[in-house]
């Protein structure tokens, strides 16, 4: 029946992954160097699912969760990159790709016997992975993990539901973005039925900011360049250091630029280290920022309305490269 919350058919990827894990000892689950709510939620949820399906399997999750995700189940056990070994039978990347890994994670990935990816970005390609499950039709990678949970007949319980709901929230913007489907809402309802405190989780994931993060956002908005339907913000490394902020405090900043009245396309250029800039792109409707990101950098990509790229440039050079391309994207 149309109103039933039946997941998309995932028998093949679920069976293949189960076949891979059945004979392994150690697995690493990881995401991009700056993991967001969907990456962290999907890694923690898959760790729980694997623990249920394969009790003898040792599963690590790498990454630094930041203040928004620090209270998620098992987040405190996530390994920082310096704690990783190179002794993993399988490394699975969730909600990202191998070009966005932290260098130490990339070394563990390269040394693994088997390398895989579970992702929903349409810019991600399956080539080069031993296991690739890519589903751009779903709203979040956590939605894919819930389908995996169903395929393995794992019962939903609050800790698992909380991790999954985090990714649902993050990648749909609290079920406001156009990627929110009826299926997404039906699956989210199943997570709420476990009794999770979804209101507190929503506040934490989408709205709460540290004081230094608010000061950083204020400076971004004050110094942003506005040109018609375009808004561009800039974050030099010394600004982060002066305010005592970190990259977790930047979450949601580019969306705030996009929400300025009359803005159709927003960009945020953040200096990660000298000579390295992270570009975040957001669009309301007209501009396909995933396509734009791949034109700016071969390793760029993401979703139609939310994408990004990393540039091997200083902040001024990145500004000179990106600004005319953003204006041209709006004109076209």
Please check whether residues 76 and 54 belong to one and the same domain: yes
pLDDT value at 83 more than 50: yes
Q: What value, to the nearest 5°, has the Cα angle with vertex 67 and ends 61 and 43? A: 20
- Which residues span the domain enclosing 245? 211-331
Rounded to the nearest 10°, the torsion over CA 219, 227, 324, 271 is 0
Q: What are phi and psi of 231, to 5 degrees?
A: -130, 130
Q: How many domains does the chain have?
A: 2
Residue 6 has pLDDT above 50, yes or no: no
pLDDT number for residue 86: 76
Q: Considering the domain boundaries, does residue 4 fall inside one? A: no
Residue 2: what pLDDT? 34
Unique residue bearing structure tokens 């139609």: 304
Q: Answer yes or no: is pLDDT of 9 > 60.
A: no
| 275 and 148 fall within a common domain | no
Q: What is the pTM of this model?
A: 0.91
Please list the helix, strand and coil fractions of the chain in percent, rounded to the nearest 5, in that order: 45, 20, 35
Same-domain pairing of 165 and 256 = no
Structure tokens at 64: 């630094």
CA distances from 109 to 27, 63, 105, 117 (A): 10, 14, 6, 11
Domain boundary among 171, 205, 239: 205
- Residue 205: DSSP 8-state: I
The per-residue pLDDT for 33 is 87
Query: Does residue 261 surpass a pLDDT of 60?
Result: yes
Name the nearest CA neighbour of 145 among 90, 205, 198, 191. 191
Bridge partners of 48?
A: none
Q: What band does 1 get if pLDDT is binned at 50, 70 and 90?
A: very low
169: number of Cβ within 10 Å: 23
Token look-up 């000061």 returns 215
Residues 217 and 186 both lie in one domain = no
| pLDDT attached to residue 208 | 94
Does 146 fall in a domain?
yes
d(CA 325, CA 176): 28
Look up tokens 């630029």; give the residue. Answer: 257
Last residue of a domain, one of 156, 178, 205: 205
Task: Flag whether pLDDT at 299 surpasses 90.
Answer: no
> What's the whole-number mean pLDDT along residues 195-220?
96
- Give the separation between CA 285 and CA 265, rounded to whole angstroms: 9
């Amino acid at each position: 029946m149309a109103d039933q919350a039946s997941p998309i058919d995932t028998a093949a990827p679920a069976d293949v992954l189960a076949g891979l894990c059945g004979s392994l000892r150690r697995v690493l689950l990881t995401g991009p160097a700056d993991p967001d709510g969907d990456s962290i939620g999907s890694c923690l949820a898959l760790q729980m699912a694997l623990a249920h399906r394969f009790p003898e399997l040792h599963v690590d999750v790498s990454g630094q969760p930041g203040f928004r995700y620090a209270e998620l189940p098992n987040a405190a056990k996530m390994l920082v990159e310096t704690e990783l070994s190179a002794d993993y039978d399988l490394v699975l990347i969730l909600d990202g790709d191998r070009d966005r890994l932290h260098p130490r994670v990339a070394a563990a990935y390269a040394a693994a016997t088997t390398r895989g990816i579970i992702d929903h970005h349409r810019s991600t390609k399956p080539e080069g992975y031993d296991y690739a499950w890519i589903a751009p039709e779903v709203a979040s990678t956590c939605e894919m993990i819930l389908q995996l949970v169903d395929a393995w007949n794992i019962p939903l319980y609050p800790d698992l539901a909380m991790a999954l709901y985090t990714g649902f929230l993050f990648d749909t913007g609290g079920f406001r973005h156009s990627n929110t489907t009826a299926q997404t809402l039906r699956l989210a309802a199943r997570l709420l039925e476990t009794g999770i405190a979804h209101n507190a989780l929503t506040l934490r994931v989408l709205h709460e900011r540290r004081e230094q993060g608010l000061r950083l956002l204020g400076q971004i908005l004050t110094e942003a360049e506005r040109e018609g339907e375009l808004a561009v913000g800039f974050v030099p490394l010394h600004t982060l250091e002066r305010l005592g902020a970190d990259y977790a405090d930047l979450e949601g900043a580019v969306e705030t630029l996009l929400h300025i009245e009359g803005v159709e396309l927003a960009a945020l250029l953040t200096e990660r280290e000298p000579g390295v800039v992270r570009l975040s792109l957001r669009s309301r409707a007209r501009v396909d920022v995933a396509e734009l990101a791949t034109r700016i950098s071969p390793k760029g990509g993401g979703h139609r309305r939310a994408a990004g790229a990393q540039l091997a440039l200083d902040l001024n050079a990145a500004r000179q490269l990106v600004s005319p391309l953003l204006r041209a994207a709006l004109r076209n």
